[in-house]
Amino acid sequence: MPRLVTRVAYIVVLWGLVSIRVVAQEPIRLALNPEKIQKARQLEQEAIAKKDSLLLAEAWYLYGKAYVFVGDYRTAQSYYVKALRIHEPRGDSFELSRLYVRLSESENRLNRLEQALHYANLSLQVAQHVRRNKDQTLVRAYGALAQIYETMWRLSGKSPEFDTALSYYMKRESLCRKLNDTMGFAEVSLELGTLFTQIKDPRAIPYLQKALNLFTLNNKDGIRVNTMLHLAAAYLTFGKSEQAFQTLIEAENLYKAKKLSDYEIRLGLENQFVRYFEASGQWKNAFDRLRRLNELERIKLLADQNGAITRLNVEYETEKKETLLNAQKKEINLNAQNLRLQQQFTRATFALFVIAAGMSIIFFRLYRKNQRISHRNAELVKEQNHRVKNNLQVVSSLLSLQSKRLTDTTAKKAVEESRLRVQSMAILHQRLYDGGRLAEVDLSDFIREVVRGVLRAYGYPNITVRFSVDEIILSADKAVPFGLIVNELITNACKYAFPDNEGPELEISCHRKNKKLELIITDNGPGLSTAKATRNGSFGMQLIQAQVEQINGMYHFYSDAEDMHSGVVFAMEFSV
């Protein structure tokens, strides 16, 4: 009993101190979310530019939501009413029901329950007649009605009002399950948990924990903080003070970390902290929180000063009647005009359809003809490559026969070298004929085949060759000189690097670097000091130089001058 008296005395003194200190205290202001306002403003400008009234109504709806978050219900309601002026004359729709729900919520927060119930019933009537998003619209309407009957039950304590609120919540929960609406199910779990907390029903905490888990999984920070507040209230109701305090601390930290600005959440935070500190006897902390709570309540009172929202609704009802009369007159004229436009549109559509059908047939025939031509051209190109390859093989065979009949060693070598050059071009055209590409060749396979052909011709089929070649597709006009260069370099290696070499080796790498192709061929012969292959006056060097110039490339030979067996390195680079 003494403790009760002490607490009553504390509360009286506390409210007195609040009334004195709140004058000097800096008022609590909740800042509008700049992103929400910017989004609404952009949509409003777009609607004005397009002269789209529905888009303008959506922009005003977004403005209203932004002001609700900071507790400025007067401004929010004014925007909702402006949006309502556009949607109501158009008849039942998802957007109209949604507006009635928002208006009902604002009236409920201002304790004008009769008007709130009126708007909630209107939202349900519209929801029952819409076709688009019918179930989602009913979910919103049931939620609005449940909240109002819950408020009426808290004020009167009558069981029928509680039962009505619970039935609407259960309908809302059933529809969310049917729609597999995770967020809707989380919201109704929060609402049911809050309702059960007030009657000390043990189902409260599991419902709230379920809602918190779903909001956390979906990263819904604002409503997640709100759920934590209701969970903390449930913990306090069931005597779990430490869990309540821990939940409140987490909620406040999350609110600050996410830089939220929501009037209802701030109000709930301060209210629950006051409850906890009073329950735990921490009177100074309770006083500080109560002072903040009082300042937040003043924001709510100032928002509805002089009954501004009520006047807006009266003005709207008057204007609505005048607008309806004008709309009926315009509708008669528009119907006649629309009928004429529909007839013209039907005739124009039919004519366009006939033209489109004719053009489609023409284009289809042209497409089939082009397909046949393209296929024929592809076959001709392949046939051309095949014939070129056969002709080159014939030339190669003739040169081989001529070589066998020659007795002069120098002449025989010259003819054999010419045969290998022709053979490299024959290999290229064989690749062009066999491959799936008309004028391109796979460089990896091409290099290997040219190298193996030269080595077989000079009697080195089994020497060690290390290939490092990227998957590169090269056009035929560059593949011909490229093949001749490779042929000439391998020929020189066979002539000058491999004789008197116990372990002849060859290393070939070809890589793409950005828009350039780099070729490096290395042997393990005696090097440049004794090599005859790099003499500028020889035919082979003239051929290499001519082919490199043809593909606009650059090349050079080098080796280690101090090492007699460092071999010769050829490096070439050209654009592809």
Answer with the residue of higher pLDDT: 107 or 263.
107
Q: Does the structure show a pLDDT above 80 at 86? A: yes
pLDDT reported for residue 313: 55
| Helix H or strand E segment including 557 | strand 554-558
pLDDT reported for residue 509: 93
Q: Does the structure show a pLDDT above 50 at 146? A: yes
Cβ atoms of 119 and 104 within 8 Å: the answer is: yes
Cβ atoms of 32 and 261 within 8 Å: the answer is: yes
CA separation (Å) from 555 to 231, 351, 450, 543, 569? 78, 67, 20, 13, 10
Cβ atoms of 100 and 77 within 8 Å: the answer is: no
What does the CA dihedral 222, 225, 229, 232 come to, rounded to 10 degrees?
A: 160
> CA angle 219-221-226, nearest 5°?
130
Q: In the chain, pLDDT over 90 holds for what percent of residues?
A: 27
pLDDT reported for residue 383: 62
Q: pLDDT digits over 95-105, tens only?
A: 999 999 999 99
Cβ atoms of 183 and 220 within 8 Å: the answer is: yes
Cβ atoms of 446 and 424 within 8 Å: the answer is: no
Burial class (CB within 10 angstroms; exposed 0-12, middle 13-18, buried 19+) of 386: middle
pLDDT reported for residue 151: 92
pLDDT reported for residue 321: 46
Answer with the residue of higher pLDDT: 267 or 431.
267
Residue that has been written with the tokens 């289809």 in this structure:
364
SS3 518: strand
CA separation (Å) from 292 to 25, 30, 286, 377? 10, 12, 10, 85
Task: Kindly write down the DSSP assignment for every residue of 187-243, as one continuous string.
Answer: HHHHHHHHHHHHTT-TTHHHHHHHHHHHHHHTT-HHHHHHHHHHHHHHHHHTT-HHH
Q: pLDDT digits over 103-128, tens only?
A: 999 888 888 899 999 999 999 999 99
Cβ atoms of 214 and 185 within 8 Å: the answer is: yes
Q: pLDDT digits over 185-238, tens only?
A: 899 999 999 999 999 999 999 999 998 999 899 888 888 898 998 998 999 999
Mean of the per-residue pLDDT values for the chain?
A: 80
Q: Does the structure show a pLDDT above 70 at 474? A: yes
Task: Enumerate helices (H) and strands (E) in the chain, giving the number of each.
Answer: 19, 7
